Structures are given as structure tokens and as C-alpha cells.
Amino acid sequence: MRLLPLYLIESVAFLLIIVETYVFFVFVVPLGPLPHNLAEYTSFALLKVVLIFVLGAVWFFVLDELTNLYVGSRVGPPPRP
């Protein structure tokens, strides 16, 4: 039972990978036809890069918060200066 929270964190990480892969291939990749103007194409490519960065940031944020919650429950609150 001591490893159950760690198993849950790993399960959440796996589920986030599955969900974010689905979001990537359903929403980010087929955002529409490619524009033929260089400025529009560049902004379109930058939008996709930002969306990919946001997906990665969400994954790291959720896992960091879960890890902090786990460590905080095991160690206790940090000492006050």
C-alpha cells in the first residue's frame, strides 16, 4: 500500500500521454489547409508550435503538482525560517 500513490502518479502520467496524443492528432495536426502566403504560413506554424509547447507544459505541471503533493504528504510542511 505504500507504493499506491506512486502507481497513481505513473497512471496519471500514462493517461496524460494518451489524452495529449489524442489532442495532438485530432486538433493540432489537422488545423486546416495550409495557407499559400508566407506570413500566414509562418503564423500557422508558430501557432502549432505554441500548442505543442502548451501540451508539454500541462503534462509537466500536472506531474510536478502530483509529485509535490506526494512529497508533501510524506515529508510534511517545510520548516519556517
The dihedrals phi and psi of 60, each to the nearest 5 degrees, come to: -65, -40
Write out pLDDT tens, residues 37-56.
888 888 888 988 999 999 99
Q: Which cell is 58 given?
A: 500541462
Write out pLDDT tens, residues 58-73.
999 999 999 988 888 8
Question: Could you give the C-alpha distances from 10 to 13, 34, 60, 75, 80, in angstroms and in order?
Answer: 5, 38, 13, 20, 31
pTM of the shown model: 0.75
